[in-house]
Structures are given as structure tokens and as C-alpha cells.
Structure 1
């Protein structure tokens, strides 16, 4: 049988392959990774000069050529023709035009598209994580501010979709704040994993040249080089950690968003959304539609879904360098960041403006008898009853008040007297004035002074702790941004110095 390689006269690239694979990859690179390509070329060049692999004259001429490419080639206008395989080879071709093949080819000493690609993708994720963390921190502060503003504002807290107990909006928002803080910690941890440079791994096993991987990492703004060179090109945990953290964040944010949808319904109505965030029906002028909450819900779900899709793409892939984790997959993941930014911005704006409708809350508390738990507790403390006996008396009172459509504070005392005497065989020491106080929502909240409760003392302490955490987050994020800024300045300075030596 004839070896097919001997009779193969086809020429790369096949037209269909060109249109279905190479063109989309080229367009993705020019749209997302041009600046990272430039930074990697410059950092690698500086390192090659500093280690003596390239002399000053060689490095200076390459630097000048890279500069001229930037000035003369506008990536946004490029149309893929198939003359070169991808954006990397386009730059290499441009270098050869200016320097000749020998000198132009020296820039690629001790590196590969493998380590270049993963460095590109990490730089892309770092930049996006910077923005995501910044916006998450803004939401975190907005939640803290709203929690402090509404720390004494009564609401109905629900369990299983039913009115359960009175609390405060500040206490509820504090719970959301705590979950968000844990999600932000996961983003910082993802950033820490992304923040290790693959450059110098080359194809798989590093290089026989005396390169300085730590110097390239420093110039590119990474914390350090990723140690194992195989992991540099195979370990996609920087992708899964990033999108895993995003998936959890937007799963968690979707839950209070859903609560806001429920709480703004006409029947519940305990949250009021201001006119600036309400759309009026085109046919029903009486309808106030708080549609930003719906947009938050579906955008949070889209972000969750896009992040989950990134994890699905990584599932059961081989532990090696592979296209599954590269250009088009990275571009797909960037869509998760785009919707994430919108959710964080809109939710921060909404949280800053929502108010509680006190009349609705008072009416829902009255209709639902949700302070009755405190009556049972008070009977234990004041009358020496067991909790079960106190609970049975309280249940009898609530049943009678609800059946009569009454108000627990004003209409519950008579049923209470009867239930108490029937259960204990004696009269209560609680008079009507004290009874009304014990079953008031204000009293219910005020006595819950335990750690983590809604009473003023524990809630104030919690909010103070959240502000400390916010300050810590801000300092950590500022340090990351400053390191990137300093690295960019150093790289630019060293690159300009190289140009002067040509």
C-alpha cells in the first residue's frame, strides 16, 4: 500500500479549516490578547538581554522592530488571510521583514507557543479578575452601608416561603454581606493561583538556555513563576479556580436577588424600589415593575451558566497542553465576566436605593402573628414554664387571633389568659400592657442580643467587623493593582533602554 504522505499534494490551510478554526482563533487573539502578546515579547526580550543570551545590539534592534510593528500594524484592521497560521506567526513575519530571519528568530529563543499561550490567558484572567474583585468590593461596601442604614428597620423574615419571625433589613443584608465576603475570598484565592507565570516552561520541560523565569514573571506583574514546567502547560486549575469561584458567587447572589423579587411583589410589598429603577407597563399605567431585579436574576444565572460551562469544557481533558483550554474557550469565558460586571454594578446601585415599606411590614406582622415565639420564650423566663408548655400556650393564642382576623398585641390578651389558666391551673403575672410589649416586633428584636443576632449590640459589632474586612480587602486589592502598575512601568523603562542600545 502506498504511503499517503508521499502522494499528499494538499497545502495548509485547508479552506474549511481556515474558516472554521484559524480565522476565529486569529480574531479572538486580535480582539483579546494583543497587549498581552506585546508585554510577553518585551519581557522575554529584556530577560534574554539581561541573562546575556542576546547582546545589547541584538536586543536593541529587536526592540526597535517591535516598536515599529506597534506603530505600523493596527490589529483592529487585520483580516485573516491564511498566509500565516495565527497572530503569533504574524508578528514573527513582521519581525523578519524588518530584521531578517536570523535576528528575528532569536526572540523565540527558550520559549514556545505553549508557555506563551498560557501566559496570555493568565494575563487576560488577571486583568478581568482585577475588575471583578473591584466591583465585588464595591457591592460589599454597598451592602455594609445599607445594613447600617437599615439596622433598626423591621422586616418579616421568611422560611419555606412563609412569614417566620420579625428581623431587620440590616440583619438580613448582613447575612448577604457575610456570604459575599466568603465569595470574595475565593476570588482572591483564584487570583493567587492565576498569579503564577508559565513563561520559561517552553514546550514542556523548560530549556537548556540559562533563562531567568523569575525575572520574566516580575516584569509581567506575576507574583512568581509557577514551579513545575509540566504544570505550566497542563495545569488548567487556574481556569477552573477562576470560574469555580465565579460560579459560586453568582449562585449565591441569585438567592437574595430572588428574595428581592418576592419581597417587591404586590402581595408582600415590604421592599419599595424607587421610581428611577421602575418601569411602567405600556398598557397598565398602575403597574410599577421593578424590572432591574429580573435583569439581575437572569444575568446572575447567565454568569453562573457561563462559568459552569467553562468547568464542563475542562472536564475529562488530558493532562497536557491542549486546545480545549485555549483561545476560543478563553473568549467564551470572558462572556461570564461581562455579565458578572453588570450584575455587580446594578445590584450595588439597587441595594443603595431600596427602602422598606413600614406599613406593609406592620400589616404582614399583624396578619401572621410572627412574634408569638417570643411569647413562648417569655413564659419560660417570667412564669417558669417549660418551653414546650409555653409553646403550646402561644400556639393556642396565635390560632385564636388568626381565626378572628385580629391583632396579636390588642386582641391576643384574652385568649392568652384563657390558654394560660387552662394549661397551668393558675393565673398569669403578665398584665395586658406587658403582654402587648412582649409580642411587639420591636421587643422581639431587642432581646435577641446573642452573638450574630439582630439586636443593636451584636449587629453593630458585626457591621464594624464587616468594615474591617472591607478595609482589608481594599488593601489587598490595591497591593495587587500596584504590583501590576509597577511591573508595567519597569518593563516599559527596561524596553526603552534596550531601544537606545541599538
Structure 2
């Protein structure tokens, strides 16, 4: 059992108490970062002349050995104490006891969390991009596939499946930009803040930040150890993404039902009933929809943990951290599953051959009355509404509308019959004509959809370059950290020779 911090101010504790408050299990995720932070800190101490090269090289050798052969023990408070104890065991107390000189667990844990989180943000962006790629793949196959568009879950206007998929792409794009913005705030170094007031030793916070791949500092030392808003911000973004994905999953669930019958979910992503042999249940989508609520719960729980805490470090923080990792894990798993599912969706044939879909074009009939017959739109709206009501009452569709019936209905609102050409009625009821006439930017016309697909393909390339560039900058810094670690560690071996 660890007594590294006891025997001075405090008497020894009991194993069950240490294990109760320990964060060692969740710290396993950040152990390698803690080792790297210690390496960068020791290199800085050597370069600033705060510790000697001989002592520094022994400490670095111990850290390099620990990084290659990490250990986890459950009898310590956390991974920070674990690393310090292992260094002392390898280098001795007289030398290894200076590992924590001019730093604290407070700035170290905040730094380690940011290092792991920046990696996870890049992972999330990559997975969202993969889902977007699946959406574009499916959209390209369905540029001319007309489907009903819905408002209030009632059929509204015709659109295309590609147009709908591009909408989902754009929803995901905004989440990527949120993550990129958050990354800039996450990738700042708290190291050197100490417990809360920096250090009286002439340390270089900038050097440590450089070796660890940070783009700058969390400058104010109180803020550096006190804030976990970067954790909440990421959870908030994941919560927005979770809401977005749950809505997308719900659309697919509804549209795959027999009542809507718009699309087919691949068999491997569905299940059947234990008693009803005809059933095809969209179980994977239902699980995705449900698991998005876990992420909302993680955000809520973390916010409540943080609420009303006094400034600087509190042990409450360590109860919020696992919520972040759980939310990220859940989101990553669901993004991967959804990407594969989406890529294999099949649209049912003859969707728009159902009689009631003809009313999707009612808006365009009102537009034609305005455009060709100079009827005020609000009046045209009433005329077409009355026409639709009459047709439904007679068990007919918009395809059955005649100039004579429209003339009869319109006379109620215009005090005279409106004579309309049969060709205008036919054009209004033509769903393909509706789609192509709606060629305003962002609309469902083939030209616009093809333009949007092309533009979004370029956007995916930009996102991939963004992620790879940020990864490369981190890797370059860690490579530099490795080089300096090995250089200073080798000096001990040189002296032995």
C-alpha cells in the first residue's frame, strides 16, 4: 500500500479507504501521458539547471523504462503517485524524489486529460467524416430517387433521398466545426501552474508545452488547474451530436416501417420476433437511438458534479472524468455502426406511385395559380386547399383533378370561375417537374444536388487534411520529446563508460 504522501502531515490510511477514493482504474487511460508529462518536465528542469544532468538522466531512464513496461497497481491513490513511486523505486529516493519538483498533481492531471482528449477529438472527427462519406455514397446513388418530405410527420412536399442525406451531412458538418473549435481550447497546456500559484523555481512552461505538442498555455495558473470547462464543452458537443444522431436514427426507423415503407434496412442490422415470424425489427437503430441518451446523461451528471464547486482543484473532478471517456466511447461505437448501416440502406421502388403522394405537389399548383393566373398567393392557397379537401372526400387524388373541378372550387373564393389549362394541372402534379423546378441554391433539383455533393466531397478532403495535420504536429512533438529523453538519459550511460 502506498505511503508516499503519508508520514508527514498525515498518518497512514487503510487499504479500503485508499481504494474507495482511488482513481487508478480510470487513470489507466492517461498513464502514458502522465509519463510523457514527467519526461518533458524533467527535460525542462535539466535545461534550466534546476536539477543536474546526472540526476535528470537517471530519472529519465526510469521513466523510459516505465513507458516501455507500464504497471498498474490498485493500492495507490492515482497514476501520478504510481509513476512517482516507480521512479523512486528505480532511481532511489535521493534522485527520484525530485520528480515532482516544481509541479503538482493538479497541473499534471489537467494536462494529461487534455492530451488524451485532443486525441479523442481527432478520432471523433475521423468517425464523423466516415459517416459523412457513407451519406455521400448513398446520395450519389439516389439523386433522382423522389421521396415524400414531411413536416409534423405529415406528407408535405416532394424531395429526393439524396437531398435528405445531404441535410444529414450538413448537420454532421456543424458538429465537426464545433469539435475543431473545441480542440483549439483543449490543446493548451496547464503545466507549470503547479498547485495553483506556479513555482518559485525558474521553470519554463513554454518548453514543456512545446515538448508535449500543445499550441499554447492556459496562462492564468488558477484557471489552469481549476477549469474543467473543456470537459463540459466536449460533452456538450457530444450531446448535440447525440440529439442529431437520434433524430436521424428515428427517421430511418419510421421510414423502414410497413406503414411508410420508404427504405429497407439490411437484414444483419435487424432482428425478428420470437413469436411473430413476419417481423423485421430495426434493432441496431433502436439501440443507437437509446444509447444517445447515455451521452446526454453523462453531460448532465458532469455538469451537476461541477456545479457550485469552489475554485481550483477538487476531488469531485475525478468523478466527472469517467463520464467524458464513457460518452466518447459510446459515440465512437455508434458512429462506426451507423456508418456501415447507412452505406447498405436500400430505397424501395415505386415510392411515389402510391395515390396519396400526388398531394405532395399541392404547393406547386398554388404557385402556378400565382405565376400564370395572377391569383394572390393566400387566395391560391385556399383554392388549392379546398380542391384537395374535395378530392379526398371523393376518394380521388390530385391526378384526378380537372380544370372544371378547379373552376368550380375557385369561384367560391374569386366570385368567378378560374379557367386553368389542363397542361398546368398536369405539370403541377408531376413530382419530377416539381423537383427540377426547385433549383434555388440548396434545393432538391439534380443540378443543385450534384453541386452540393461535389462541394461536400472537397470538404471531406479538407477535414481529413485537418485531422492528419494536427496528428502530425502532435507526433512531431512527441518524437522530439523522445529524442531529448534518450539524449539526456544516455548521458548517465556515457559516464558509466
Instruction: Give the TM-score, by structure 1 length.
Output: 0.90
Question: How far apart, in 1, do the equivalents of 2:134 and 2:308 lie?
Answer: 40
The change in CA–CA distance for 1:376 and 1:128 in structure 2 (over 3 A counts) is same
1:224 counterpart residue number: 216
SS in 2 for 1:33: helix
Cα RMSD (Å) of the superposition? Answer: 2.2
1:5 counterpart residue number: none
SS in 2 for 1:210: coil
1:213-239 Cα offsets, whole Å, 9 max, x none, are: 122112112112221111110122111
SS in 2 for 1:155: strand
1:60 counterpart residue number: 57
SS in 2 for 1:211: coil
**Aligned runs of 1:160-309 on 2, under 5 Å?**
160-309=152-301
Question: How far apart, in 1, do the equivalents of 2:137 and 2:77 lie?
Answer: 53
SS in 1 for 2:375: coil
1:477 counterpart residue number: 467
Question: How far apart, in 1, do the equivalents of 2:488 and 2:340 lie?
Answer: 48
Give the count of matched residue pairs: 483
Do the aligned residues in 2 keep the contact of 1:166 with 1:365 (CA within 8 Å)?
no
1:446-478 Cα offsets, whole Å, 9 max, x none, are: 111222221223333333332333222222211
Q: CA deviation at 1:157?
A: 1.0
1:362 to 2:360 alignment? no
SS in 1 for 2:147: strand
1:6 counterpart residue number: none
Question: How far apart, in 2, do the equivalents of 1:168 and 1:134 lie?
Answer: 27
1:134 counterpart residue number: 126
Q: CA deviation at 1:423?
A: 4.9
Match of 1:467 among 452, 457, 474: 457
The change in CA–CA distance for 1:251 and 1:73 in structure 2 (over 3 A counts) is closer
Question: How far apart, in 2, do the equivalents of 1:397 and 1:163 lie?
Answer: 17
Question: How far apart, in 1, do the equivalents of 2:274 and 2:403 lie?
Answer: 49
Question: How far apart, in 1, do the equivalents of 2:463 and 2:83 lie?
Answer: 40
Question: How far apart, in 2, do the equivalents of 1:203 and 1:231 lie?
Answer: 11
Match of 1:42 among 35, 39, 43: 39
1:141-190 Cα offsets, whole Å, 9 max, x none, are: 22233333323211111111211111111222222222211111111111
1:32 to 2:29 alignment? yes
Do the aligned residues in 2 keep the contact of 1:155 with 1:356 (CA within 8 Å)?
no
Question: How far apart, in 2, do the equivalents of 1:72 and 1:436 lie?
Answer: 76
1:23-55 Cα offsets, whole Å, 9 max, x none, are: xx12222x3222111111111112222222233
For structure 2, which runs of at least 5 residues remain unmatched after alignment?
1-8, 493-497
Instruction: Give the TM-score, by structure 2 length.
Output: 0.91
Question: How far apart, in 1, do the equivalents of 2:223 and 2:157 lie?
Answer: 52
Match of 1:371 among 343, 353, 361: 361
Question: How far apart, in 2, do the equivalents of 1:465 and 1:230 lie?
Answer: 45
1:415 to 2:408 alignment? no
1:149 counterpart residue number: 141
